[in-house]
Each structure stands twice: as C-alpha cells, then as structure tokens.
Amino acid sequence: MSILIIGAGEIGRAMEKILKEKPDSSAQIFLWDKNQGKVPGQKPLEEIASPADFIFLCIPSFAVEEFLATMKPLLNPEMIIISLSKGIGDSGKTMAEILGDNLSAGFFGLLCGPMLAEEIMLGKKAFAVLAIENEKNYEKAARLFSGTRLQIFQSSDIKGAAIASVLKNIYSVLFGICDGLNAGSNFKGRLLVEILKEMKKIILFFGGQPETAEGLAGLGDFFATATSAYSKNYQSGLEIANLKSKTQNLKPNLTGEGIMSFNNFKKRLGDEINKFPLLKILDKILSDPAKADLFLKELA
C-alpha cells in the first residue's frame, strides 16, 4: 500500500505520525510539500501520486481548488482522496463542492473531528468522522486507521460535514472573543446553545443533515477548537477582544481558518447572512473590534 500526504504543516506531520505508528504496517508513506525545504529528499509528485492508494490533503482550504486542478493528470480512478482541509475556498465553494467538481463521487471524503495536531504529536488520541459516499471505501479507510490513535466513524453527509468544518472555526473565534472580554462561563454556556442551533440551520440551508452538527464534525470539533490554547481561531478571538480599548481603525493581524473562511462564507451567503444572528454579530465585531463588547450584548 502507498500513502501520500500533501502538506508538511502541523496536521500533515500529525497524520504521518499516526500512520507510521500503526502496528505491523507495511505501507509506504510519502510526504510532499510545495516548499521542498520542509521535506528533505522528497520525491517528485509525478513519481509518488499516481501509484498512491490514499492521498491525504493537509493544505489550507484556499489552496485546495488550485492544487487539485494541477494534480488531476496524476490521479488514478481507484485511489481514495481524503481532505483534512477545514474551510471554504476563495471561490466560495465548500470542500465538498471543490472535491466533487474535480473527483469521482465515492472516491473522496472529508475527515472531520477533534484532531488537534499538537495533541496528536504529544501522543494523545484523536477522533473524526470520515464523510464519504462509498461504503467499501470507508471500510478501506477504517482498516487503514485500525489500531492507531485516530478513531474514525462513518458518515455519508459530505455536505453537512463540510459546512460544520467551516462553522466550527468561525464560532471558535466568538468563543475567543468571549474569553478576551471576560464574559464568563455562564455566557459561553448560553452562546454554545445558540451556536448549536444556528449550526443546524446553516447545515440544512446548504443541503446537509442538521444532526451532523451534534456529532464529531460539528460540536465535537468545535469544542476542541474553541477551548484549546493551540487553536489559532480561538487566539484570533482573544486578539480581537484586546482591541476594544484601542483605536477603532486598528486592524488585528489575524490568522487561522476561521477569519479567512468567514470572509468567503459571508460573500457566499450575501443577504442571507441576516438569517443567522451569530454570524451577523461576528460580522459587526470584525468591522469594528473596538465595540466587540457592545455587539455581544445583542445575544443577551
């Protein structure tokens, strides 16, 4: 068996570690990154892509669409491509839509759940759903991860998983803002309830199954991302909150999929954003961080 991991960032390295620790595995695992310096001695993509049984996409969401377009000639129809990217492309398309435009149905999936790369590298367990249409291909993936520290569960709701993965990052920014403003656990408890309700509505709006919001791709991944000091989305929220006493026109240097995805998601929704109060509140905060505490009071 041959496995190719695209992207040598934190999650790519974490996936490599998980698979290399699998007992009695004879699989060949290749890591490839556009920055060759990250993978000393890496083989040419043309040599390692076509023979791969599994390809894991561990690259930022904004890069997936362009990468798949250039990679198409190297793919074979039997390989299983699994994306760990959790965001929305510059085109406004979800990962499910981007993969569906470029790959055969049933041969691609989304791996979504609480999988903080830093915890994986420390030897801790991780959990995810694999959203994929083809039952046999799910079983192949389940065998691949059997005996590893990543426990996976099956889901056929690719649309719902893709949206949940976007929203969990976006809502984690709100949790960071709450902590930065010392809103308290009681307030976050109320916010959590509203987040779950709104996540269900948005998933349904995009054609997914609302119950996906209650599982690992939704609530599970959100909790890990919104409460971990490792999370860039949570840290972005803290940074926004720290601007409340500074000048109104000061823009934060924000990182993380949450902020980047929100801007693309906002464009995709257009006027429909007004149907989703929490997204609207975050939009106001990002437009005027100095008044974050005032906008949060709209939830009360």
Q: Which of 86, 168, 232, 244 is catalytic?
A: 168
Straight-line distance from the first to the last Cα atom of the chain, in angstroms, rounded to the nearest whole number: 55
244-257 residues labelled b (16+ CB within 10 A) or e (exposed): beeeeeeebebebb
CA distance 66 to 89: 10
> Which residue pairs, CB below 8 angstroms and at least 24 apart, start in 97-103?
97/162, 98/64, 98/65, 98/68, 99/64, 99/68, 100/158, 102/65, 102/68, 102/69, 102/72, 103/68, 103/75
Phi and psi at residue 257, to the nearest 5°: -65, -30
Beta bridge partners of 150: 126
**Residue whose entry in the numeric block shows the structure tokens 């904004």:** 62
Catalytic residue status for 201: no
CA distance 232 to 255: 6
**Residue whose entry in the numeric block shows the structure tokens 């009071």:** 297
CA distance 209 to 203: 6
CA distance 276 to 257: 20
Catalytic residues: 168
